[in-house]
């Protein structure tokens, strides 16, 4: 199980096979099967408590799954720390509450992992960081502390921080849910730009249906720990198959 069979051209970027997870007695994820192509952009939605965050948090081992297989970029996720480390290098993550390091400046937040995980020279790490801060449009905030920034700015720093590690996959765990309405757009714009560049595999848990329509190659609907329905966005929104999906969509699209 723990062999490092990392073929460069694994068929799928991410593959979940019959993945199950329990919190004690509670069965959070039930027989999840999911295959994600390289460069594919997936939006995951569903009611709260449906297990969507838990599912993507299993992919970089912030949560442990108990049954089934998770294979990321050809590496199987097991208890082997080596494998976990390998996968985490390839997978970036953006959190609902940003989780920036409050005691480090924006630039230091972005350089920490490249310097101490990828062993890059500081000057090179800083140059890369500035490049990504440029792309999320806040290079002028580089020397400030996270506490001095607005929520939207903090989330864009968090995205830049992940990108500095040059990941193949980006996981977004409700990146706009903690933001004021006027700041949601600036974060979504950055994410759309990232998607438009192509090449990045993206899994995004979000309720921003506009974003899903513009960006997603595929929308996945989850309920009660199961994937109920998946389809390309046009079909998903206009012609939902499952009753539960129809109900969910009617509720969130009312406004």
Partner 1 sequence: MSSNRPSSESPTKPDSTPRFWNDPDKRALIFQGLIVLALGAFILTVVSNTLHNLEQRGITTGFDFLSVEAGFGILQSLIPYSEADSYGRTFIVGLLNTVLVSFLGIIAATFLGFLIGVGRLSKNWLLAKICAVYVEIFRNIPLLLQIFFWYFAVLRTLPSPRQSFELFGGYLNVRGLYLPAPILEDGFGIVWTALIVGIVATWLFKRWADKKHDESGREYPVGLIALGLIVGLPLLVFFFAGAPVTMDYPALKGFNFRGGVTLIPELIALWLALTIYTAAFIAEIVRGGILAVPHGQLEAASALGLPRGRTLRFIIIPQALRVIIPPLTSQYLNLTKNSSLATAIGYPDLVSVFAGTTLNQTGQAIEVIFMTMAVYLTLSVLTSIFMNWYNSRSALIER
The binding site for partner 1 (CB under 8 A) comprises 60-62, 85, 88-89, 91-93, 95, 97, 99-103, 112-113, 115-124, 145-148, 161-162, 165
Q: Which residue's CB is nearer to partner 1, number 100 or number 228?
A: 100
Residue 6 CB, shortest distance to partner 1, in Å, is: 16
Q: Which residue's CB is nearer to partner 1, number 123 or number 253?
A: 123
Residue 2 CB, shortest distance to partner 1, in Å, is: 18
Residue 129 CB, shortest distance to partner 1, in Å, is: 13
Q: Which residue's CB is nearer to partner 1, number 36 or number 171?
A: 171
Residue 120 CB, shortest distance to partner 1, in Å, is: 5
Q: Which residue's CB is nearer to partner 1, number 95 or number 248?
A: 95
Residue 146 CB, shortest distance to partner 1, in Å, is: 8
Q: Which residue's CB is nearer to partner 1, number 52 or number 61?
A: 61
Residues 6+ apart with CB under 8 A from 233: 43, 212, 213, 216, 218, 219
Q: What are the structure tokens assigned to 238, written together? A: 């206009």
């Amino acid at each position: 199980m723990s062999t490092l069979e990392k073929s460069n051209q694994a068929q799928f970027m991410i593959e979940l096979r019959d993945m199950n997870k329990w919190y004690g007695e509670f069965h959070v994820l039930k027989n999840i099967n999911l295959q994600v192509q390289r460069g594919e952009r997936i939006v995951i939605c569903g009611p709260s408590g449906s297990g969507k965050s838990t599912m993507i948090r299993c992919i970089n081992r912030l949560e442990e799954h108990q049954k089934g297989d998770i294979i990321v970029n050809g590496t199987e996720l097991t208890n082997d720390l080596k494998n976990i480390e390998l996968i985490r290098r390839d997978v970036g993550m953006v959190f609902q509450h940003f989780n920036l390091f409050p005691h480090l400046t924006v630039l230091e937040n972005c350089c920490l992992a490249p310097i101490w995980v990828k062993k890059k020279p500081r000057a090179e790490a800083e140059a890369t960081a500035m490049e990504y801060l440029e792309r999320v449009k806040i290079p002028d905030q580089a020397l400030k502390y996270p506490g001095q920034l607005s929520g939207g700015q903090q989330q864009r720093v968090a995205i830049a921080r992940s990108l500095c590690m040059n990941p193949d996959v980006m996981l977004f765990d409700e990146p706009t849910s903690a933001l004021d309405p006027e700041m949601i757009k600036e974060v979504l714009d950055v994410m759309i730009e990232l998607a438009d560049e192509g090449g990045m595999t993206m899994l995004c848990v979000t309720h921003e249906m506009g974003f899903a329509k513009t960006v997603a190659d595929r929308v996945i609907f989850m309920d009660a720990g199961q994937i109920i329905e998946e389809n390309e966005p046009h079909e998903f929104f206009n012609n939902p198959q499952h009753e539960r999906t129809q109900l969910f969509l009617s509720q969130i699209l009312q406004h």
